[in-house]
Amino acid sequence: MAARIFITRKMEEQVVAPLREKFDVRMWDSESEKAPRDVLLREVVEADALWSVTADSIDQEVLMAAPKLKIVSNMAVGYNNIDLEVAKERGIIVTNTPDVLTNTTADLAFGLLIATARRLMEAEDTLRKGQWTSWSPMGYTGMDVGGAKLGIIGMGRIGEAVARRAKGFDMRVLYHNRSRKPEAEAAYGFEYAELDALLKEVDFVVILAPLTPETKGMIGERELGLMKKTAVLINVARGGIVDETALYHALKEGQIWAAGLDVFEKEPVPLDNPLLTLPNVTVLPHIGSATIKTRLGMMELSAQAILDTLEGREPKNRIV
């Protein structure tokens, strides 16, 4: 009997087709809506491989319900949606899809930074609503990006890619990371800083750290209070890293100038989230890796990891 694969989202058939030739592939029929919990729990019972996305909670209950499961192939760089301890205990391989989305996500991060700094979404919305009646000396004025100080929290592959882009804007780049990056410092002039010092000094803070027990809530009321009143916070990592209640009050009370968010604690973000009421917040629906080339590349990595595992080869990008 052929090994069974369950895919939690509708993926491009050109990537899935090679798997269908060798395995029993079952795939949820929606691209935009995740498989319901009861469907996921039912499907994993017979699954040898699970192809998941970041919105799927692959927790203890799911993993314990899957006696045949050999691999969880997660179509994302992050893997905070998977219980790695349980996977390791049960001998289940977990893989992710790094590298292929590095430049794409860095582009989005820098684009969101510029859009937030220059109030692009607010200005466009005003124009579309017919509320732009005349040029005015201080109309839609924002913050300069060129020559400003950028602070990056989480200097991994994407962090370094954002920092390289910043050098093209003549920005001074400070970073905070679990470990220093002497090669990047020497090659590009990036400067290491402790978190508090970075928050106090820079004009833009870009969060690119993974969500872990150590980083959860790391940007809260105290940290936001260290930032300049003219500072901009950009988060393209994971929503749980920033205390959203504290961020709302900091923005509403003018403790910081603006924020650009591609991620939220709860996704899809509820429309009653107070952050959506603020004019100085630019929001996006978690599209950091959303280009055609990159998403297809991520799918191919996920599919290849499953193929390798089920055919007895060591998959690339193994986490556990």
Q: List, by residue number, the catalytic residues.
A: 238, 267, 286
265: left (phi over 0), alpha (psi -120 to 50) or beta: alpha
Q: Which two tokens stand for residue 56?
A: 């799927």
* Cα 50 from Cα 97, distance rounded (Å): 14
Helix (H) / strand (E) element for 50: namely: strand 49-53
* Cα 87 from Cα 320, distance rounded (Å): 8
268: preceding bond cis by omega (within 30 degrees): yes
Q: Which two tokens stand for residue 13?
A: 């058939």
Instruction: Give the closest residue to 211 by CA, choosing from 234, 242, 186, 182.
Output: 242
Residue 199 near residue 149 (C-beta atoms within 8 A):
no
Q: Measure the CA dihedral 45/50/54/57, to 10°.
A: 10
- Only one residue has tokens 């090679």, namely 18
* Cα 66 from Cα 87, distance rounded (Å): 11
* Cα 184 from Cα 202, distance rounded (Å): 19
Question: Which phi and psi angles does 170 have, rounded to 5°?
Answer: 60, 35
Give every CB contact of residue 119 below 8 A, 6+ residues apart in sequence: 140, 141, 142, 258
CB atoms within 10 A of CB 2: 12
* Cα 24 from Cα 6, distance rounded (Å): 9
Residue 152 near residue 163 (C-beta atoms within 8 A):
yes
